[in-house]
């Protein structure tokens, strides 16, 4: 089954809603027959998370996720236009908390750079699927990571 390609988003300036959307990268590589997932630490609390960020004008959600993987983790990879799943969390935005819905896109890692924009603010580390799933806080994200199969994502 071939899925349709995603189109770049056209964002209108100044349009905000109570619920915000982010796009996350699930950076992965296969070493031997083992799938590895790259997680990064958050800037505030140091907990393990996926690279993620806001929608970007003229980029597909998968491309935006890959851009975040570069900026936050120094990952150069190939984004795959297949949403693996959705999870939500609450983010402090200014003086209030905002509900965030996050769509997760796989990024097949080609290179890791030793220098990247947020290098001094975060750590990155490779984990097995099972260990990566245990490290993240959100139950729905745990399920997405634990059930990730690169063969299915690449179809």
Q: Does the reported pTM lie above 0.85?
A: yes
The token duo for 10 is 């056209």
Decide: 53 and 67 in contact? Cβ < 8 Å: yes
The full set of domains in the chain, from first to last, is 20-153 (3.90.79.10)
End-to-end Cα separation, the chain, in angstroms: 8
Helix (H), strand (E) at residue 142: helix 139-146
pLDDT score for 141: 97
| pLDDT at residue 29, rounded to an integer | 97
Burial class of residue 90 (count of CB atoms within 10 Å of its CB; 0-12, 13-18, 19+): exposed
The pLDDT score that the predictor gives to residue 126 is 98
Tell me, what's the pLDDT at 15? Answer: 56
pLDDT at 77: 97
pLDDT number for residue 1: 43
Distance, in Å, from the CA atom of 64 to the CA atom of 86, rounded to the nearest integer, reads 15
pLDDT tens string, the chain, 155 residues long: the values are: 444 555 565 555 655 556 789 999 999 999 999 999 999 999 988 999 999 999 999 999 999 999 999 999 999 999 999 999 999 988 887 788 888 999 999 999 999 999 999 999 999 999 999 999 999 999 999 999 999 999 887 77
User: How far apart, in whole angstroms, are the C-alpha atoms of residue 38 and residue 146?
Assistant: 13
């Amino acid at each position: 089954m071939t899925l349709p390609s995603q189109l770049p988003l056209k964002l209108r300036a100044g349009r905000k809603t109570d619920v915000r959307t982010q796009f996350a990268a699930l950076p992965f590589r296969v070493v031997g027959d083992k799938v590895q997932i790259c997680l990064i630490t958050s800037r505030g609390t140091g907990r393990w998370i996926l690279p993620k960020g806001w929608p970007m004008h003229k980029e597909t959600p998968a491309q935006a996720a890959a851009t975040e993987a570069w900026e936050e983790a120094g990952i150069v990879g190939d984004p795959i236009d297949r949403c693996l799943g959705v999870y939500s969390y609450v983010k402090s935005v200014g003086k209030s908390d905002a509900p965030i819905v996050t769509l997760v896109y796989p990024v097949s890692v080609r290179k890791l750079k030793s220098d990247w924009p947020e290098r001094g603010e975060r750590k990155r580390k490779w984990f097995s699927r099972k260990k990566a799933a245990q490290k993240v806080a959100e139950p729905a994200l745990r399920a997405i990571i634990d059930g990730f199969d690169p063969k299915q994502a690449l179809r």
